[in-house]
Amino acid sequence: MSDWLMSVPAFIVSIGLLVAIHEYGHFWVARRLGVKVLRYSIGFGRRVWGFTGRQSGIEYWLSAIPLGGYVKMLDEREGEVAEADKPYAFNRQHPWRRIAIVAAGPGVNFLFAIVAYWLVFMIGVAGIKPMIASAPDGTLANAAGLRAGDEIVAIDDRAIGDWQDLRLTLIERGLDGQAVDLSVRGDDGMARDVSLDLRGVPADPEKLFDRLGLAPYQPPATPLIARVVPGSAAEAAQLQAGDEVLAVNGESVDSPQGLVDRIKAQPGERVTLAIARDGRRQEVPVTLAAAENEAGEPVGRLGAQIGVDGEAWEAMRTTRQLGPLAAVPAAVSKTWEVSALTVRLMARMVTGDVSWRNVSGPIQIANYAGQTASIGVEAFVGFLALVSVSLAVLNLLPIPVLDGGHLLYYSIEWIRGRPLSEAVQVAGQQMGMVALLMLMTLAFYNDILRLLG
């Protein structure tokens, strides 16, 4: 419940802000190009609060459904327009003007992402060093000779600052399907070059990293119970937050991942955890729950959030901070990289190379919003930048009812010298609505599956 007390307000602030910025792009350009604006609304449906501009006569609304917004412009297709106002109607404008008005929404979202990343780089981007854990046998990292504790300094001469850099770069290179050269520094301080063959690897990010066998290095540290999930096996065994887990069935564990792996390997079984509580060692029997992973295989479930003493991770932390000028090109580059990667992954979803389970809806976005807000300002601002890019890219898809669909129609009209027939436009709108409804249904379905674990 406490998680949602943070997630819901963070979600409302995030979506409200990004939608307001998107719609303001349409609003600002429309007014600059002489189109009469009737209403600027954040949200859909019934008006909850609002006012009317004294001089402009524009209605400013906050509406009941906070999952979008709109700018209503004077348009002869939506009602009668006085003869004196017809030159200011949207439908009377040259196609290039309509294209500019429609493109302004996604454009402002990209601009917001640049500004947000600029702020993040100036505040300082916290992360963990790109050091890797031991790669399992049969994985590409193991075959390449990568070892536990290796820090990946660069990929194809591109500097890698933290694990997020490493992850995004490998996803991008994985889509290219080529071998990459890694500059690696071992735990002994010695530098060496390693070739990692990415030909034929899965395009899906999760499957990619399973195939590579790459995971963050975990320094030896006793795992502990950070939180117990109500109704779980951990609660039934009376485990408590703060308990240090020393061993499972008499075999010691020295990292959170080691504990997780041991739990997953014993679905539905009764195990004995050796824990330390208040400085005293105890033996606690636990009957693990059983669940299925994405491959449909049974895995054990304890029902607890596993953590570790923060001091053990101190040496793994890193911060990238730039000055105001240096942060500008870095922010532009970051926005471009995230945008390009988003487009490529969406294209691979269409071809079936990337699972549609990667599509997230408002529930998952709210969850991420709450998590990043609880971490700190830089994490939350970075989250806003990422969602802003996603919103821009989604709206530019050539689907009628989205900005990209309108851009397609107006571009065709400009080239042909006349608009498409009304029947064609209506059919396109109907297909666009169906496609959008299917996408929203899929997003909610994925969110519910994640909630159910």
Domains 140-217 and 223-308 fall in the same CATH topology: yes
The single residue of 23, 59, 151, 283 carrying the catalytic annotation is 23
What is the DSSP secondary structure assignment for residue 220, as one 8-state letter?
Answer: S
- Largest pairwise CA distance in the chain: 87
Candidates 243, 378, 265, 406; CA nearest to 309 is: 243
What's the rounded Cα separation, in Å, for the pair 154 and 181?
A: 8
- E strand segments, 229-326: 244-248, 251-252, 270-277, 280-287, 289-292, 298-301, 304-308, 317-320
User: Who contacts 278 (Cβ-Cβ below 8 Å, separation ≥6)?
Assistant: none
The β-bridge partners of 159 are 154
Q: Which amino acid, 52?
A: T
The pLDDT, as a whole number, for residue 256 is 83
Annotation says 23 is catalytic: yes
- The percent of residues in the chain predicted with pLDDT above 70, rounded, is 92
Cα distances (Å, whole numbers) of residue 171 to 1, 60, 151, 344, 365: 34, 42, 18, 10, 21
Topology of domain 223-308, CATH: Pdz3 Domain (2.30.42)
Residue 445 has pLDDT above 50, yes or no: yes
The pLDDT, as a whole number, for residue 429 is 84
Contact 274, 246 (CB under 8 A): yes
- Select the more confidently predicted residue: 448 or 302: 302
Residue 98 has pLDDT above 60, yes or no: yes
pLDDT in tens, 151-170: 999 999 888 988 888 998 99
The pLDDT, as a whole number, for residue 1 is 44
The pLDDT, as a whole number, for residue 293 is 74
Helices assigned H by DSSP within 150-267: 163-176, 205-212, 233-236, 256-264
- Select the more confidently predicted residue: 10 or 252: 252
pLDDT in tens, 67-78: 789 999 999 988
Query: Hey, where are the domains in the chain?
Result: 99-124+321-453, 140-217, 223-308
Topology of domain 140-217, CATH: Pdz3 Domain (2.30.42)
Token pair belonging to 115:
């500004």
Q: What is the dihedral of CA 226, 267, 274, 304, to 10 degrees?
A: 10
Residue 200 has pLDDT above 90, yes or no: no
pLDDT in tens, 46-69: 999 999 999 899 999 999 887 789
